[in-house]
C-alpha cells in the first residue's frame, strides 16, 4: 500500500480530500434548516447520510479501484454499459418520480439513479474500446461510431425520463471525447466537423420541438428577479440574493438567511450561492480557482498517460467535472436555462459523489500505471 501511495498523484489526492472536507462542512450548514423543517430530523440528517457515502467511497477507492489494473476494465466496462442500458429501460416501469423525472430506483435504504452511473461507466468504456481499436493498424473508420451509437441510445432514454440536463451532460462528455480522439487523419477531421454541425442542429431541434411545458418555461431564464413568482425566476433570484448578501467575506458560516427555505435546493443545486453568502465572494473565487487547478491536473494526467485508454479516462473525467461546473454555475447566474445538476464535491447526493470519487481514483490508477510504464522504458533504454 505504501508503494502504491508513493506513485499516486499527490496534488490530485490533496484536492480530492480538501474538496470532500469542505463539501461536508457546507452540506451540514446548507441542509440544517431543511432537515429540521422538511424532514423533522436533526440538523445533521443530510450530513450524516453524506458522510456514510464519503467514507464508503474512499474505502472502495483505496481498497479496490486503486489496486484494480485498468486491463480488467476490458470485461467490466462493456458489461457495465449493458447493465446500465437495461436499467434505463426498466426505470420507466419500476422507477420513482422525483422532481418531475422518473429517474430513480427506490431501494428503501437508498435511491439509485442509473443515468448518473452511466457517466463514469461510459468514460471507461470509451477508453477501453478505443484503446483496442487504435492498436490495430487497419480498421474501418465506421467502427469509431459503434460506442457512440450505444451511448446515443442511453442519451435518448435519459432525455425521455425526462432528465434533459443529465442527458445533455452525457452527450457533452461523449462529444468532447470524440472531438479529441487521437486520430488526426484528414478524413477524421472532416468527420469531426460534420458531427459538430450535426450536434448543433440536433440541439436546436431538441429545444424547438422536444420539450414539455415545464422544460419550455426554463428557456425564459434571463432577468430572474423580474419573474420572482415563477419557479425558475424565484430560485435563481434567491440564489443571486444569497451571493449579494455575502459580499466579499460573507455573513459567517451557518448564518445564511436564504437557506431558510428561500432556496428549496440549498444543499444540492444551489449550494454554491450558500457558500458565497456565508463565506463571501473571496472564498467563492478560491473554490473556482481550485476547480481550475483540478481540471488542469486532469489534462496533465491525460497528456502523460501511457495508453489511449488512460488518455480517454482522464480526458473524460475532465469533461465530466467541467460540464457539471459550467451547467450549474451558468444556471445559477441566469446565463443559461436552469437544469439542476450538482456541483462536484459540494452538493449533497450519494450517487453523484460515489461516481465522481471513483473516477478520480481511476485517474490515480492511470497515473500509477503511466509511471510504471515510464520506468520500464527507462530501464530498457539503459
- In whole angstroms, what separates CA 41 from the centre of its chain? 29
pLDDT, tens digit (0-9, with 9 covering 90-100), for 84-93: 999 999 999 8
pLDDT, tens digit (0-9, with 9 covering 90-100), for 90-106: 999 888 887 777 888 88
| Percentage above 90 pLDDT, the chain | 59
Contact 363, 12 (CB under 8 A): yes
Which residues in the chain show pLDDT less than 70?
A: 1, 207-222, 228-229, 231-232, 375, 381-382
pLDDT score at 106: 82
What distance in Å separates the CA atoms of residue 310 and residue 370, rounded to the nearest whole number?
Answer: 8
- Torsions phi, psi for 240 (to 5 deg): -65, -35
pLDDT score at 341: 87
pLDDT score at 338: 77
Using H for helix, E for strand and C for coil, what is the string for the chain? Answer: CHHHHHHCCHHHHHHHHHHHHHHHHHHHHHHHHHHHHHHCCCCCHHHHHHHHHHHHHHHHHHHHHCCCCHHHHHHHHHHHHHHHHHHHHHHHHHCEEECCEEEEEECCCCEECHHHHHHHHHHHHHHHHHHHHCCCCCCCHHHHHHHHHHHHHHHHHHHCCCCHHHHHHHHHHHHHHHHCCCCCCHHHHHHHHHHHHHHHHHHHHHHHHCCCHHHHHCCCCCCHHHHCCCHHHHHHHHHHHHHHHHCCCCCCCCCCCCCCCCCCCCCCCCHHHHHHHHHHHHHHHHHHHHHHHHHHHHHHHHHHCCCHHHHHHHHHHHHHHHHHHHHHHHHHCCCCCCCCCCCCCCCCCHHHHHHHHHHHHHHHHHHHHHHHHHHHHHHHHC
Amino acid at each position: 500500500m505504501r508503494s502504491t501511495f508513493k506513485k499516486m498523484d499527490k496534488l490530485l489526492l490533496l484536492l480530492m480530500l480538501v474538496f470532500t472536507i469542505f463539501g461536508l462542512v457546507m452540506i451540514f450548514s446548507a441542509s440544517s434548516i431543511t432537515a429540521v423543517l422538511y424532514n423533522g430530523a436533526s440538523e445533521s440528517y443530510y450530513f450524516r447520510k453524506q458522510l456514510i457515502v464519503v467514507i464508503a467511497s474512499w474505502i472502495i477507492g483505496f481498497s479496490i479501484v486503486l489496486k484494480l489494473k485498468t486491463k480488467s476494465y476490458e470485461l467490466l466496462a462493456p458489461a457495465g454499459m449493458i447493465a446500465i442500458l437495461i436499467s434505463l429501460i426498466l426505470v420507466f416501469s419500476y422507477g420513482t418520480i422525483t422532481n418531475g423525472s422518473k429517474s430513480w430506483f427506490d431501494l428503501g435504504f437508498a435511491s439509485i439513479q442509473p443515468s448518473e452511473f452511466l457517466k463514469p461507466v461510459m468514460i471507461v468504456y470509451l477508453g477501453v474500446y478505443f484503446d483496442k481499436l487504435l492498436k490495430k493498424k487497419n480498421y474501418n473508420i465506421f467502427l469509431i461510431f459503434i460506442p457512440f451509437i450505444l451511448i446515443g441510445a442511453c442519451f435518448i432514454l435519459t432525455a425521455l425520463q425526462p432528465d434533459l440536463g443529465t442527458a445533455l451532460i452525457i452527450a457533452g462528455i461523449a462529444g468532447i471525447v470524440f472531438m479529441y480522439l487521437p486520430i488526426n487523419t484528414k478524413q477524421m477531421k472532416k468527420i469531426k466537423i460534420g458531427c459538430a454541425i450535426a450536434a448543433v442542429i440536433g440541439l436546436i431541434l431538441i429545444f424547438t420541438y422536444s420539450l414539455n411545458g415545464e422544460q419550455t418555461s426554463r428557456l425564459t431564464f434571463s432577468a430572474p428577479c423580474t419573474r420572482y413568482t415563477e419557479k425558475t425566476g424565484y430560485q435563481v433570484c434567491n440564489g443571486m440574493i444569497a451571493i449579494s448578501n455575502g459580499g466579499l467575506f460573507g455573513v459567517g458560516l451557518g448564518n445564511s438567511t436564504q437557506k431558510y427555505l428561500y432556496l428549496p435546493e440549498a444543499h444540492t443545486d444551489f449550494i454554491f450561492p450558500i457558500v458565497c453568502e456565508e463565506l463571501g465572494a473571496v472564498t467563492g473565487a478560491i473554490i473556482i480557482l481550485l476547480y481550475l487547478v483540478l481540471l488542469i491536473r486532469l489534462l496533465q494526467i491525460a497528456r502523460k498517460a501511457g495508453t489511449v485508454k488512460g488518455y480517454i479516462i482522464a480526458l473524460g473525467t475532465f469533461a465530466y467535472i467541467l460540464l457539471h461546473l459550467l451547467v450549474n454555475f451558468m444556471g445559477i447566474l441566469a446565463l443559461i436555462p436552469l437544469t439542476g445538476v450538482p456541483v462536484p464535491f459540494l452538493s449533497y447526493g450519494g450517487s453523484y459523489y460515489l461516481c465522481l470519487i471513483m473516477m478520480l481514483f481511476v485517474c490515480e490508477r492511470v497515473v500509477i500505471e503511466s509511471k510504471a510504464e515510464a520506468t520500464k522504458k527507462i530501464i530498457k533504454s539503459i
